[in-house]
A and B are shown apart, each in its own frame.
Chain A
Amino acid sequence: MAKFEPSRPEQQPRPTAPPQQPVKKPAPPRPAGEIGWHPVWRWFVSLLIVLHLLAVFCAPWDLSTQAALPPGFIPPTDNLGRQLPPPVGVLQEPIVTRGLRTWFFRHYLNLLYLNHGYEFFAPDPNGSHVIRYQIRDSGGREVAGGQFPDLKAQWPRLLYHRHMMLAAQTGDMGEESGRHYAQHLLAVNGGQSVRMEWIIHKLLPPQDVKNGKKLDAPETYQVLANIQEVAKPKPVPEQPVALPPTEGGR
C-alpha cells in the first residue's frame, strides 16, 4: 500500500525582511613590522630599487672619475717645453662608469634631476667670482653700475646666492654666457653699451689675516676677463602697409 504523505498546504512565502548582506568590515590595518605586498610585486619593485640606486650611484661615480694616462707615459712637449695634449687614443676612458651614466641611465638621470657629482666644496674650496659692470648711454655717460653678487642689492640671502652662482658658473659655460648677462643688463637698465669685468676674489691665508690684512683688500681681486657689449638693435615692428586712399564707396 502506497503510503501517502499527507498533503502539505502550499507554503506561502512569508513576507520576510530582505536577507541581510554581511556587512563588510574594513580589513584591520596590517600591524607595523609585517612584510607588505604580494611576492611578485615585491620582486618587481626590488628590480626597480636596484636600477634606481644604481643610477643614483653611477652619476657621482662617473663624475668623479677621469680618463687616465698609461703608467709611465711621458706627455709630449713643444719646443718651449710646454706640455701638449696626449695623442688620440692614449687616454684610457673609464668605460663602465661613462657607459652607465652617459648611455644606459642618461635619460633617467636627466628626467629625475639626478645627474650630479655632489662635490660640495671639493676638491678644494676656492675664491669666489664677482662680476662688475658699467652701463653707458650713446653719449658715453654712465647710466648704471654695480656688481653681482651684492649683499646690499640682493635680498634675501637665497637671491644673493643665486646671483653668486651666475658669476661662478659663467666660468664653466664660457664667454657666450657673459654676453647674455651683458645683454640682460642692457635690457633692464637701458643704455647703449656695457663693460663687464669677471673677477676672482682670492682667499687670504690665515697668516695674512693675523697680520691685519682685510679679506676684501684691493689686491685680493683679480680681473680674469673683460666683456664689452653694445645693445642689440631692437626689432622694429612691421608697419602696416598703407593703402591708397579710396574715393568714397559706391
Chain B
Amino acid sequence: MGIFADTRGYFAEMWQAWNKFWFQSVDPATLCLIRLLAGTLLFYTHLVWSLDLQAFLGQEGWLPVEYIRRVQGEQWSVWSVFFWIKPGWLLWCVHIIALLVFFCLMIGLFSRTMAVLAFLFAVSYAHRVSPGAFFGLDKTNCMLALYLMLGPCGARYSLDSVRRVRKGITTPVAPSTAANLAIRLLQVHLCIIYFFSGLAKYTGENWHAGTAVWWALANQEYQSIDMTWLANWPLLVALATHATVFWELSYWALVWNRFTRPLVLWMAIFVHAGIALFMGMITFGVAMIIANLAFLTPQTVRRWFDPLAGRVARLLGAGK
C-alpha cells in the first residue's frame, strides 16, 4: 500500500513542479525586453542584405535557387518565399515589407502579429542562404523569433503599450502563462545549444590541449582586434580554452541554481562579447547575449528598464 501511495505522491509532486515550471503566470517584462533587442537585431541584420540583395537572395546570384534547392534535397519543408520570387522589383518589394515587419517588431507595433511574420521572414532568408552564406547568427535569429511569437511580447516597452495608455486603458499589465512558456522554451533551447557545442568541442584535440582559443584568435579573416600578443601568454590561452569548454558543458546544470546563475551568465557575456569584439562577429555575439537575457527575472528587468521606458513613454505622450 505504501509503495503505491508514495509512487502516486511522487508523480503528483512532479506534475505540480512541471506545472509551476511551464505554466506559472509571470510578468512578461523579460519577453518584452527580448522583443525590443531581438527586433532591433533582426532589423539591422536583414537591412544589411540590402547592400547586395540580388546576389544573395535573387533567383540567380552567387548560388541560383535551382541549385540551392537541389543541394537541400528538394524537400517541401525547406521553404522560403525567395524560392518563388523571380522579378527583381518583386524581390525588393518583399524585402522592404520584411524590413517593415522587423521594424514594427522592434518598436512594438502590433507586436504579436509582427512576431509571427518576423519568424516567417527570418526563416525565409535563412533557408535561401543555407548552404552558402549562413552561420550561427541565422540560427539564433530564427530561435529568438520563434519564441517571441508564443507570448505577449508587446505588453511592455512597446508602442502597443503606449497606445493602450493613450486610449485611457490603465489596467496593469497582466501576468501571462504564455510569456512564461516562451521564456522557458528559450532557456531550455539555450541549454541544449551550449551542451552540444561543448560536446563537439570536447572531440577536438586543440580544445583538449588548451590551445583552441589561440587558433581562433590567430585567424586573420576573423580577427577584428589583433590578439597575437597572446602568443606570449600560453597559460592565459589554456585557461580561456578550458574555461570555455567547461562553461558550455555545465551551462545546462549551473544556470538553474540561483547562486551559480550570475557566474554562468557573466561568463556568457564575457565569451560572446569576446567573439563580438575580437573575432568580428558582432551580430552573432550580440544575438547570443540577447538570448541569455531569458534568464533575467521579470523583477530584475523592470528594476533596470522601467525608469528608462517610463521616460520614453512620457516623451510619446503616455503617462504623467
Contacts and interface: CB of A to CB of B under 8 A. Distances in A.
B310 interface: no
Given A124-B206, A125-B216, A180-B64, A57 B133 contact: no
Given A123-B207, A177-B67, A172 B131 contact: yes
B75 A110 contact: yes
Interface residues of B, number: 89
Contact of A117 (B20, B26, B200, B237): B200
B131 A120 contact: no
Contacts of B204: 122-124
Contact of B24 (A33, A53, A162, A166): A33
Interface in A149-171: 149, 156-166, 169
A71 interface: no
A91 interface: no
B146 A161 contact: no
A156 B47 CA distance: 11
B29 to A, nearest CB: 11
Interface string A198-221: 000101101101100001100000
Interface range on chain A (Cβ under 8 Å from partner): 35 or more
A74 B222 CA distance: 40
Interface string A12-48: 0000000000000010011111111100001001100
B48 A159 contact: yes
B181 to A, nearest CB: 7
Contacts of A36: 23-25, 176-177
Contacts of B24: 32-36
B87 interface: no
Contact of B196 (A29, A60, A125, A210): A60
B221 A164 contact: yes
Interface in B28-63: 45, 48, 51-52, 55-56, 60-63
Interface string B124-144: 001101111111111100110
A61 B196 contact: yes
A30 B175 CA distance: 7
Contacts of A126: 215
A116 B231 contact: no
Contacts of B181: 45, 49
A119 B205 CA distance: 15
A56 interface: yes
B131 to A, nearest CB: 5
Nearest to B230: A206
A169 B133 contact: yes
Given A36-B176, A113-B130, 20 more contacts: A29-B175, A35-B20, A53-B189, A56-B188, A60-B192, A64-B200, A107-B77, A111-B123, A113-B122, A113-B127, A120-B197, A122-B201, A124-B212, A157-B282, A162-B48, A165-B135, A176-B67, A184-B60, A204-B218, A207-B231
The 6 closest A-B pairs by CB, nearest first: A36-B177, A123-B204, A122-B200, A29-B174, A60-B196, A128-B221
23 contacts: A29-B175, A30-B175, A34-B24, A34-B25, A34-B175, A35-B19, A35-B24, A49-B181, A64-B203, A111-B77, A112-B123, A114-B143, A118-B197, A119-B200, A123-B204, A123-B205, A125-B216, A149-B221, A158-B283, A161-B135, A180-B64, A209-B228, A210-B232
